């Protein structure tokens, strides 16, 4: 699909970078937290920081000779959608989300990686790009390389469907919010998603998959498990550093394998 291509020196309004700054990068690694950009970029070669504007912090590095952008999206689908829009104008074609997540299936362990094949569209951003009947599905070639990369590092991983919510509390049926109230449409939803085989909750993947597909681009999602919703509502901070390292290592290996394969 052909879209709007930005002038090489024009800085995008929200993300604060231009096409010239990306040095031809087609791949982008997308954590949510701006503070995760630096440690992810440190796993690349010759990494340098590019810009920091609003929630969008960016750095450019290399996997061998392949330029790779790392850029935070902030929390949630609206800011992720803005990032995809503006990066696509700069020539980025392959989007790899790197996130943290809470698992809702009992067979999943802390520190496991979840590679999403598709996502439940429990957010509103993707509905601005495609009707609700349109599926949120990952790029096959990019997702296959994620699996290969996880196997290469001998990291435990799961593949399946995630649920992307617009809210951290009611949409994920958490009752420890300020009001403690979850509206009727979400009461019992956690049990329903479990019975339907959904693996985890997060907040960005379905918008990323939907927007990338409608643009004719490629997207995949890799999340590390830092909470087990079947046991507790609390985040396990002890596994956070381990998960961050695994995400970065698998992302680097994925780009290396995908670029070498010549796949779209």
- Residues annotated as part of the active site: 14, 86, 174, 229
C-alpha span between 250 and 67 (Å, rounded): 16
**Residues 217 and 137: beta-carbon distance below 8 Å:** no
Q: By CB neighbour count within 10 A (0-12 exposed, 13-18 middle, 19+ buried), where does 178 fall?
A: exposed
The pair of structure tokens assigned to 10 is 């024009």
Q: Which of 196, 35, 230 is nearest to 119 (CA)?
A: 196
**Residues 22 and 10: beta-carbon distance below 8 Å:** no
- How far, CA to CA in Å, does 198 sit from each of 19, 178, 192? 37, 27, 9
**Residues 113 and 246: beta-carbon distance below 8 Å:** yes
């Amino acid at each position: 699909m052909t879209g709007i291509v930005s002038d090489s020196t024009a800085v995008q309004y929200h993300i604060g970078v231009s096409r010239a700054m990306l040095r031809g990068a087609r791949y982008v690694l997308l954590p949510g937290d701006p503070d995760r950009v630096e440690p992810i970029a440190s796993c690349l070669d010759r990494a340098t920081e590019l810009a920091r504007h609003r929630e969008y912090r960016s750095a450019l590095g290399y996997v061998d000779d392949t330029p790779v952008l790392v850029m935070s999206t902030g929390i949630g689908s609206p800011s992720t959608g803005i990032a995809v829009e503006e990066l696509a104008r700069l020539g980025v074609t392959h989007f790899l989300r790197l996130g943290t997540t809470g698992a809702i299936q009992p067979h999943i362990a802390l520190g496991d990686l979840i590679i999403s094949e598709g996502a439940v569209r429990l957010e509103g951003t993707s509905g601005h790009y495609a009707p609700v009947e349109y599926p949120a599905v990952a790029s096959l070639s990019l997702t296959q390389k994620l699996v290969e990369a996880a196997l290469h590092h001998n990291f435990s991983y799961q593949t399946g469907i995630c649920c992307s919510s617009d809210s951290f509390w009611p949409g994920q049926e958490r009752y420890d919010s300020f009001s403690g109230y979850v509206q009727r449409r979400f009461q019992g939803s956690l049990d329903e998603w479990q019975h339907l085989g959904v693996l985890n909750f997060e907040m960005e993947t379905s918008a990323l998959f939907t927007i990338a597909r409608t643009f004719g681009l490629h997207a995949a999602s890799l999340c590390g498990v830092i909470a087990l919703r079947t046991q507790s509502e609390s985040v396990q901070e002890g596994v956070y550093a381990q998960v961050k390292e695994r995400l970065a290592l698998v992302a680097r290996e994925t780009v290396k394998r995908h670029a070498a394969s010549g796949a779209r």
